[in-house]
């Protein structure tokens, strides 16, 4: 497993992270096997959110990993807050309460990275800044980030913060490439030329903000996985072809495709299958050529101008 410095802050994180959204209802033994497999493969980064399983995902993770001070220093734990049932809430009170709840469920004294989960248009950045300062000064949260934010939302928040935003978690896969498409179709009258996210890819690179790719095997907004889907027959054929050439499982190729980008994007994989996780981690052992990267991009139905 290769490692990257998150947000330029010398936080050595595995370039592939394990997302823990789906572990809430799994038997403890299965979660233990999954986490042990992740650790054996070199994954040291685990992604959570207060809403995953209504908090149960954090609880079962702590139980399964056998949280203790010695182990805690060897792993990087990220969690998120801000989504409530039917609305978003970036109030100081909610942020502080959410973190305290996560700390209790995770059986830890601190969170390595706290993300604001989705933009709250009622956000008062001064209030968020106050909450972040309290959390940072108290040692409860060491670093901060956001999820699904566009550049000006980050700029607005950053104006009031004493801490840097080091993460932006965004949806990205071979079959969900909006942030990349825009860069190819400059000054063109095509749907791909529409700037839907404010040039977030380039912005994050300029600001040393690590992009984390969520749903790296999905297309659309939770419409399903492209792996084995007849809707993406050409893509799956190309995945198999390149996987055979590289000597790795085909499921590793979509992750290798993300890792190949010079932005050093960190994929968040949400599998709960230990064998599949091992196959996915093979992506860290290979590097796609430019030609292979573009072949995959085109095989997913993307067109180059």
How many angstroms separate the CA atoms of 266 and 274, rounded? 19
For residue 174, how many other CB atoms are within 10 A of its CB? 26
How many angstroms separate the CA atoms of 116 and 88, rounded? 10
Q: Is residue 235 within 8 Å of residue 300, measured between CB atoms?
A: yes
How many angstroms separate the CA atoms of 221 and 207, rounded? 27
How many angstroms separate the CA atoms of 300 and 302, rounded? 6
Q: Which residues of 267-298 are buried (b: 16+ CB within 10 A; e: fewer)?
A: bbbbbbebeebbbbbbbbebebeeebbebbbe
CA dist list (Å): 211 to 38, 81, 157, 172 = 21, 18, 17, 9
How many angstroms separate the CA atoms of 226 and 255, rounded? 13
Catalytic residue list contains 110: no
C-alpha dihedral over 43, 300, 146, 270, to 10 degrees?
-40
**Is the C-alpha dihedral spanning 40, 109, 212, 268 positive or negative?**
positive
Radius of gyration of the chain (CA): 19
Catalytic: which of 52, 88, 219, 297? 52
Q: Is residue 158 within 8 Å of residue 116, measured between CB atoms?
A: no
Q: Which helix (H) or strand (E) holds 111?
A: strand 111-116
Catalytically active residues, by annotation? 52
């Amino acid at each position: 497993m290769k490692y990257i410095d998150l947000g330029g802050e010398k936080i050595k994180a595995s370039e592939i992270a394990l997302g823990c959204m789906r572990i809430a209802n799994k038997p403890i033994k299965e979660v233990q096997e999954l986490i042990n497999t992740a650790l054996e493969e070199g994954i040291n980064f685990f992604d959570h959110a207060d809403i995953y399983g209504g908090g149960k995902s954090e609880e079962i993770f702590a139980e399964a990993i056998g949280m203790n001070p010695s182990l805690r220093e060897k792993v990087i734990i990220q969690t998120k807050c801000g989504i409530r049932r039917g609305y978003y809430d970036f109030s100081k009170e909610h942020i502080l309460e959410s973190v305290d709840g996560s700390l209790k469920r995770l059986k830890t004294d601190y969170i390595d990275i706290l993300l604001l989960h989705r933009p709250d248009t009622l956000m008062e950045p001064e209030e968020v800044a106050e909450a972040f300062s309290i959390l940072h000064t108290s040692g409860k949260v060491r670093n901060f980030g956001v999820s699904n934010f566009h550049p000006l939302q980050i700029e607005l928040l950053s104006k009031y913060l004493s801490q840097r935003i080091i993460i932006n978690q965004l949806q990205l896969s071979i079959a969900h490439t909006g942030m990349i498409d825009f860069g190819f179709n400059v000054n063109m009258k095509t749907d791909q030329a529409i700037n839907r996210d404010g040039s977030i890819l380039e912005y994050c690179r300029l600001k040393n903000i690590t992009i984390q790719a969520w749903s790296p095997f999905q297309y659309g907004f939770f419409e399903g996985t492209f792996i084995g889907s007849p809707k993406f027959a050409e893509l799956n054929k190309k995945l198999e072809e390149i996987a055979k050439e590289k000597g790795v499982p085909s499921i590793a190729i979509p992750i290798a495709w993300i890792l190949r980008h010079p932005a050093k994007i960190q994929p968040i994989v949400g599998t709960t299958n230990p064998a599949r996780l091992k196959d996915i981690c093979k992506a860290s052992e290979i590097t796609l050529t430019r030609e292979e990267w573009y072949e995959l991009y085109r095989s997913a139905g993307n067109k180059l101008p």
